[in-house]
Structure formats: C-alpha cells, structure tokens
C-alpha cells in the first residue's frame, strides 16, 4: 500500500489507475463512470484488507511443543520459525477431500520426525498427541512418525491452507505414497488447525491464582470415583467409564480459595476453545458445593493415569448427581487453570 496525499492508505493499483487517468485522458469522466470506479476501488480495497487479515491470523498462529521436551520447557514456534522448519513436500490425496477423493495435492510442511529429533526427550516417549484449536486430538506412535513422512502441513499447492480445509496447520499422512498407512491411520487422524504437539503425557499440574498443585497434592485430597458415560469428544469408551479424582471444591480449598466469597470459577484447558474469554467455561459456586464436579486424574478398572491421548493428565468431569445444566457443559480436557471469580 502507498500513502496518498489524501492521507489514506490506497492500494498501489488504485493509485496507478488514478495517475493513468490524470495523465492520459482529456475527457472529463461522467458521474456514472466515477461511481463505477469508486465502487471498483472499494471492492479492491476490501479484498486486500480481507487478504491481509487472513495473512495476519496465520502469522499470529503459534505451535506449542509440550510434554517430554528435551529442555523440559514448552517450546513455542512462531509462524516464521514454522516456515523455516517446513522443509518437506508430500504429494498425496487429501483424506478429507469428499469432492474428488483421487485429487493429488502438493503439501509443504514440518515433518513430525524433525520435531521429535529437535525437541523431544525421545527415551521418555512412545506416542505423540496433536491437539487442535477445537479440542480435537489425535495420537500417533513415535515409531510410525519416524518411519513415515507424516507432516504438519502449512501450505497446499504453494498456498496457505484455508481454515475450512484444515489450515493453517493440518496434520497429513502420505496416503498416496504408502496406501497401507490408511488402514492404520484413517481420515479421522487428519487433524485440522493443530495448536499443540505433546510428547507423551505431561506431568499433572494445575494453577489456581498463584498456587500450583501437582499430582501428589491432588492425591492428598479425599478421593472420589464415578462410573458413568463421559462427555469428552473423542477416544473415550462410549459406554460407562470409571473415573477417579478429587472434588473441585476440595481443590479450591486446598489453594486457599474462600468459597463463601467466590461467585464462580472459570476452568481453562489447553485447547483454544476451552480458553475463550468470550465463552468461558464457568461453574457456579453453588453447583460446586452441591454436586460432584471432579478433576479426574485416573480412569478405568486398572486406575491408570489419564494419557494425553484422552486429554489427560487432568480432565474436568461432572457427576450424575449434578443438574443437567451443569453436566451438559463442556467436559474440559487438558485442564490447566482454575480462575476464581469473586
């Protein structure tokens, strides 16, 4: 864009045509003609603004690498770092292209293998979980990620990947090159809008104001278990499941939150949909005192820790004794933070 003497930002194209008009023509344009040009200029401008906005959204997309990282810290990759890591091209059909399932695209992206080599504490992990903006997640064996060029694509045929096609970061599998891969990792595994890569499962940790509680802290509280259907989105049994954990009210008390003055608590999970300021997951103190709202850390007959594959190590669960309005709220996975509201 060029700064015009009118003080507004005008796209170069409009300026060039204005200059061409001023210099080249002798006839005065009619009002109707001016109106057409004006409308064309507005349309062009709107298109440029829309493209800039899209580019901006993509440029602001980060990828967080967590769990058993080599440094023990979260690694945050910004868009330009992601572009530098996007060294692999994979020509393949798109598992989710229902219009023409045979159409081959040229995807450019970051090989999962290079993320492992660069950032993982490889001895500690057997699987990696990819978490998406919408709380969807997929988990893949490290062995397969090292064996096959499974990539986090950031471009498709040289163009940024639109949201409705899984962008800006889309986990893709080389189906065309390795057709057998499809039986092991079907279309469901092509994860859209990936935001986090988790090596193994993180250590349980939850922050409440300035307090941070770990698994040992939670295990000291009275233990509760539930056997019921769960409200998590994917990769949980669809029938009755046993969940073990602690009551939210006990966790809040342990963190010295005064439940007499707290109005509600906002529960934040890792996935971006669980963190929206405009649509918080907010539980009223009244409900927290009345029914079993749990932070679950274990599940199943063997009372195993909840793995990243299932949204662990900490998930939010509602007991059957909770009113429908409460238990029909989102069952938050990867719970990270409780924010008391006074």
Ligand X SMILES: Nc1nc2c(c(=O)[nH]1)N[C@H]1C(S)=C(S)[C@@H](COP(=O)(O)O)O[C@H]1N2
Find which of Mo ion, ligand X, none residue 61 binds, CB within 5 to 8 Å per kind. Answer: none
75 or 134: CB nearest ligand X: 134
Size of the site for ligand X (CB under 6 A): 10
Name residues whose C-beta falls within 8 Å of residue 7's C-beta, 6 or more positions apart in sequence. none
Selected range binding ligand X among 128-136, 260-268, 320-328, 331-339, rule: CB under 6 A: 128-136
Torsional class of 168: left (φ above 0), alpha (ψ -120 to 50), beta (otherwise): alpha
Find which of Mo ion, ligand X, none residue 217 binds, CB within 5 to 8 Å per kind. Answer: none
Q: Which residue matches tokens 């940024």?
A: 160
Torsional class of 98: left (φ above 0), alpha (ψ -120 to 50), beta (otherwise): alpha
Site for ligand X in 168-207 (CB under 6 A): 187-188, 190-193
Check residue 134 for interaction with ligand X (CB under 6 A). yes
CB of 21 to ligand X, least distance (A): 47
CA nearest to 216, candidates 169, 170, 254: 254
28 or 238: CB nearest ligand X: 238
Selected range binding Mo ion among 105-113, 186-194, 224-232, 319-327, rule: CB under 5 A: 186-194
Q: What is the DSSP code (8-state) at residue 123?
A: G
Find which of Mo ion, ligand X, none residue 299 binds, CB within 5 to 8 Å per kind. Answer: none
Cα distance between residue 61 and residue 54, in whole Å: 11
Find which of ligand X, Mo ion, none residue 115 binds, CB within 5 to 8 Å per kind. Answer: none
User: Do the strands 241-247 and 2-3 form a parallel or antiparallel pair, or are they unpaired?
Assistant: unpaired
167 or 245: CB nearest ligand X: 167
Selected range binding Mo ion among 187-195, 223-231, 287-295, 334-342, rule: CB under 5 A: 187-195
Check residue 162 for interaction with ligand X (CB under 6 A). no
Report how far apart the first and last C-alpha atoms of the chain are (Å, whole number). 48
CB of 189 to ligand X, least distance (A): 7
Options 61, 105, 136, 331; binder of ligand X; rule CB under 6 A: 136
Find which of Mo ion, ligand X, none residue 334 binds, CB within 5 to 8 Å per kind. Answer: none
Identify the helix (H) or strand (E) that includes residue 207: strand 205-208
Q: What is the DSSP code (8-state) at residue 203?
A: P
Options 96, 122, 141, 264; binder of ligand X; rule CB under 6 A: 96
90 or 213: CB nearest ligand X: 90
CB of 94 to ligand X, least distance (A): 10
Tell me the HSE value of 82 on the side-chain side, using a 13 A CA sphere. 28
Cα distance between residue 22 and residue 212, in whole Å: 67
The b/e string for 197-234 (b: 16+ C-beta within 10 A; e otherwise) is bbbbbbebbbebeeeebebebbeebeebebeeebbbee
CB of 156 to ligand X, least distance (A): 15
Size of the site for Mo ion (CB under 5 A): 1
Residues 249, 288: contact at Cβ < 8 Å? yes
Check residue 322 for interaction with ligand X (CB under 6 A). no
Residues 317, 245: contact at Cβ < 8 Å? yes
CB of 269 to Mo ion, least distance (A): 22
Identify the helix (H) or strand (E) that includes residue 269: strand 264-269
Residues that bind ligand X (CB under 6 A): 96, 132, 134, 136, 187-188, 190-193
**Contact footprint for Mo ion (CB under 5 A):** 188
């Amino acid at each position: 864009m060029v700064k015009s003497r009118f003080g507004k930002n005008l796209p170069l194209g409009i300026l060039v045509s204005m200059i061409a008009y001023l210099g080249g023509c002798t006839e005065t344009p009619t009002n109707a003609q001016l109106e057409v040009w004006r409308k064309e200029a507005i349309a062009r401008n709107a298109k440029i603004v829309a493209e800039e906005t899209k580019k901006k959204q993509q440029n602001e997309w980060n990828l967080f690498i967590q769990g058993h990282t080599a440094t023990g810290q979260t690694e945050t990759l910004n868009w330009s770092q992601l572009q530098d890591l996007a060294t692999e091209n994979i020509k393949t059909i798109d598992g989710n292209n229902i219009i023409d399932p045979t159409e081959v695209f040229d995807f450019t992206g970051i090989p999962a293998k290079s993320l492992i080599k660069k950032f993982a504490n490889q001895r500690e992990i057997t699987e990696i979980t990819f978490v998406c903006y919408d709380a969807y997640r997929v988990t893949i064996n490290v062995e397969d990620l090292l064996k096959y060029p499974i990539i986090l694509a950031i471009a498709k045929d040289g163009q940024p990947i639109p949201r409705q096609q899984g962008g800006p970061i889309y986990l893709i599998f080389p189906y065309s090159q390795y057709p057998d891969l499809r039986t092991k990792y079907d279309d469901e595994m092509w994860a859209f809008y990936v935001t986090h890569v988790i090596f193994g499962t993180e250590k349980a940790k939850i922050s409440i104001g300035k307090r941070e509680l770990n698994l040992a802290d939670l295990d000291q509280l009275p233990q509760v278990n539930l056997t019921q259907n769960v409200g998590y989105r994917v990769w949980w049994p669809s029938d009755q499941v046993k969940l073990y954990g602690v009551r939210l009210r006990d966790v809040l008390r342990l963190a010295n939150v005064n439940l007499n003055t707290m109005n509600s608590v906002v529960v934040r999970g890792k996935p971006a949909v669980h963190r929206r300021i405009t649509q918080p997951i907010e539980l009223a103190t009244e409900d927290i005192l009345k029914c079993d709202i749990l932070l679950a850390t274990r599940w199943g007959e063997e009372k195993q820790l909840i793995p990243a594959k299932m949204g662990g190590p900490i998930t939010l669960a509602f007991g059957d004794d909770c009113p429908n309005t409460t238990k029909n709220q989102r069952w938050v996975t990867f719970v990270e933070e409780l924010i008391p509201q006074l």
